[in-house]
Homo-oligomer: A and B are copies of this chain.
Amino acid sequence: MSPARLRKLRYAMVGGGRDGFIGAVHRHAMALDSRFELVAGAFSSTPDKAKASGRDLGLADERNHGSWQDLLADELKRAPEERIDLVSIVTPNHVHYEVAHAFADAGFHVVCDKPLVHTSEQARSLVDTVAQRGTVFGVTYNYSGYPLVRHACEMVRSGALGTLRKVIVEYNQGWLATQLDNKQAAWRTDPARSGIAGAIGDIGSHAEQLAATVTGLEIEAICADLTTFVPGRALDDDGNLLLRFKGGARGVLIASQIEIGCENDLRLRVFGDQGSLAWHQEDPNQLHYAPIAGPRQVLTRASAGLSTAAQQATRLPAGHPEAFIEAFANIYSGVANDIHARLLTGQPAAREQADYPRIEEGARGVRFIEKTVESSRSSTKWTAFG
């Protein structure tokens, strides 16, 4: 059935108030395909700010709450036909666990920003709850929503690269090269809110997930060197890792927020024994493919043989660039497909019809952060990942 003929899914947002950045991105992404409708929210941990933010967004007062606890209590009282289908959690990291746990436990579908939670213990608890409730839980590793990232996945799966040998993944930023005083910088560099990691949690986690998604490789061991360059900062702002994958592939992962001149310079290179791929987030509409024989090719969304997975993730003819919000929207599109499948059939959607990062990926990401920090503190070269 045409997605547009289904009713819009009702959602509430937790976090994402007036001076946030990522909340507005989620709202744009959810709006793009007209499949979601914002009906409730608790947009800040400060009640006044929460309500002012909700009014900005045109929410009715009765569904515009000063705290997520009030929001949850109110939703549970509402009739099914007006109750939210899902909650989108876009708070700073330290709030993720309790909100996600409470809503999932109450039977709501959840989309939560990354990194999922602060500890693997929390992650396990959340995974268990979601499993028990049988609800949808998506994690917005948004970069995996780009059409050519999805095509890269398919190429690897199809064997076009042969046996994988090496992965180089980088997320280079420069905006924290000096001490900043804005809200975005403040919570990301505060252990109480950001967790045990700085750059490696904020963007290294994206790099890890992108590499894992495209390659399907599992990390066997990590050798990390995390550094804090800016005086007075409590968390790492630069991280460099050697990786060993199960099966023998090798990797390098770089995540830094002190590299002046870099904006959101996320790059992935994957080398197999039959070919290689390279992709760059700031130029996301090209995928560079080098087969072992023959010249390098520049694949676009127009390329013959573009995989179904990529085709389903694109809205425009090639050459009309698609970008960040569209990739983000693809994550939500997968979530919507899964929720609608359950509404219509009582069963989850088939995986290929609902391509979004699951809670298990979020949990693996938490483990990645923990093991990276452990390795960085160790004088032993390799810290086992398993």
Contact = CB atoms under 8 A, between A and B. Distances in A.
A240 B166 CA distance: 10
Nearest to A293: B304
A177 B165 CA distance: 10
Contacts of A7: 58
30 contacts: A4-B58, A5-B55, A5-B58, A7-B58, A25-B316, A31-B32, A34-B38, A166-B238, A174-B276, A223-B242, A225-B244, A229-B273, A240-B252, A258-B271, A260-B273, A261-B276, A261-B296, A263-B317, A263-B320, A264-B319, A264-B320, A295-B300, A298-B298, A316-B324, A316-B325, A320-B323, A321-B321, A321-B323, A321-B324, A325-B325
A318 interface: yes
Contacts of A278: 261
A265 interface: yes
Interface stretch (A187-195, A350-358, A374-382): A374-382
Contact of A326 (B175, B265, B323): B323
B173 A319 contact: yes
Nearest to A265: B319
A34 B37 CA distance: 9
A259 B242 contact: no
A230 to B, nearest CB: 8
Contacts of A38: 34
A334 B34 CA distance: 21
Contact of A240 (B5, B250, B258, B261): B250
A359 interface: no
A360 interface: no
Contacts of A384: none
Contacts of A316: 25, 324-325
A303 B292 contact: no
A33 interface: yes
